[in-house]
Amino acid sequence: MSGDPLFPDCRPRCVRQMAVGDGHILHVEECGPVDGLPVLFLHGGPGSGCTPAQRRLFDPERFRVVMIDQRGAGRSLPTGELEANTTLDLIADLDYVREALGIPGWIVFGGSWGSLLALAYAQIFPESVHGLVLRGIFLGSREEIEVYVQGLGGVLPGHERGDPLAVFARRILGRNPGAALEATRAWLNYERALMGEPPVADFPDAAQLAKARIQMHYLIRDCFLVPGQVLAGIERIRHLPAVIVQGMADPVCPPPAADRVRRAWPEATWVPVAGAGHGGLSPPIAHACIKALGWVAECVEG
């Protein structure tokens, strides 16, 4: 796939700061027509926040897109807050926003961490979900997390030894600001290297520090999930139209997790993208996701 499959840049039609309890205020933006087909977009991370470029995945004439920066992430406040910040809290927030916006149900589109959150949300609120587009599957398992961090042994901060995730979590979540900055930069650059991106030019900014803090908070706790929880819950959403888009050369969320979902949910449409990596806006992945959303939308609209 060559060229740019994305839609033109667009500005949000509406931007809100929504208090959801526990002191958290979510940044929520809407794009597209108010009478468009509702789509909830879930960013990755955890802790990354939404970006303007991600709006370009959606036909601005067709979809009413709701983009939410999850608790502590992106432009939500307090930045990097970990109290009352669990997977269940995030799921409750999504349905709170849906009700507040008067949306009876929506298609849920999530990539990477967003794919896990989409699946978990749909399993708790299947009546609110009309279909799913899942990209770069992540199930939050200890096995996936261990595979992801195994290459960090050579960049452990302070010449420490031991479990890489534990070492980074201790520094990033610790009380020493200098150690947290150093460890955060190493952690972020590790992911960027996996994705073929250049390292961060300077010390991490507040949003990057928040992202790393939230990632540590979730990953050291197995994403607040019971082992096997997401796969076991597929029975509750088996009836929904769904597409799984998986880059077959994804080094961040490798194909085995997606294959487990595919085998547990053979009714879902499987879209392997040969040679594609993790980036959700890379041309081959974006093209597949846009096509997948179109197909799910046709199923929803009848």
Residue 44 confidence (pLDDT) above 60: yes
Q: What is the DSSP letter of 198?
A: P
Which of 206, 198, 150 has its CA nearest to residue 180? Answer: 206
Please identify which of the residues 76, 112, 128, 282 carries the catalytic annotation.
Answer: 112
- Residue ranges per domain, the chain? 14-140+225-301, 144-222
Average pLDDT over residues 198-205: 88
Q: Could you count the other beta carbons within 10 Å of the beta carbon of residue 285?
A: 26
Report pLDDT digits (tens) over 211-257. 999 999 999 999 999 999 999 999 999 999 999 999 999 999 999 99
pTM of this structure: 0.96
Q: At what angle do helices 87-100 and 113-124 cross, to 10 degrees?
A: 70
Catalytic annotation on 112? yes
pLDDT of residue 121: 98
Which CATH number applies to 14-140+225-301?
3.40.50.1820
Average pLDDT over residues 181-193: 93
> CA 237 to CA 208: how far, in whole Å?
34
Contact 149/165 with Cβ under 8 angstroms?
A: yes
Instruction: Please state whether the peptide bond connecting residue 104 to the residue before it is cis, i.e. omega within 30 degrees of 0.
Output: no
Residue 1 confidence (pLDDT) above 50: no
pLDDT of residue 158: 67
Average pLDDT over residues 255-268: 98
Please identify which of the residues 217, 278, 282, 287 carries the catalytic annotation.
Answer: 278
Residue 39 confidence (pLDDT) above 60: yes
Catalytic annotation on 250? yes
Average pLDDT over residues 1-27: 93
Q: Could you count the other beta carbons within 10 Å of the beta carbon of residue 38?
A: 23
| Conformational region of residue 72, where left means phi above 0, alpha means psi within -120 to 50, and beta covers everything else | left
- Can you give the C-alpha Rg of the chain in angstroms? 18
> CA 246 to CA 115: how far, in whole Å?
11
pLDDT of residue 2: 53
Please identify which of the residues 24, 48, 128, 250 carries the catalytic annotation.
Answer: 250
- H helices of the chain, where? 87-100, 113-124, 142-149, 164-172, 177-194, 206-219, 229-232, 255-264, 283-301
- Pairing mode, strands 129-137 and 106-112: parallel
pLDDT of residue 11: 96
Tell me the two tokens of residue 277: 């990596």
> What sign for the dihedral angle of Cα 95, 78, 213, 226?
negative
> CA 196 to CA 275: how far, in whole Å?
14
Contact 58/39 with Cβ under 8 angstroms?
A: yes
> CA 125 to CA 244: how far, in whole Å?
20
In single-letter form, the type of residue at position 213 comes to R
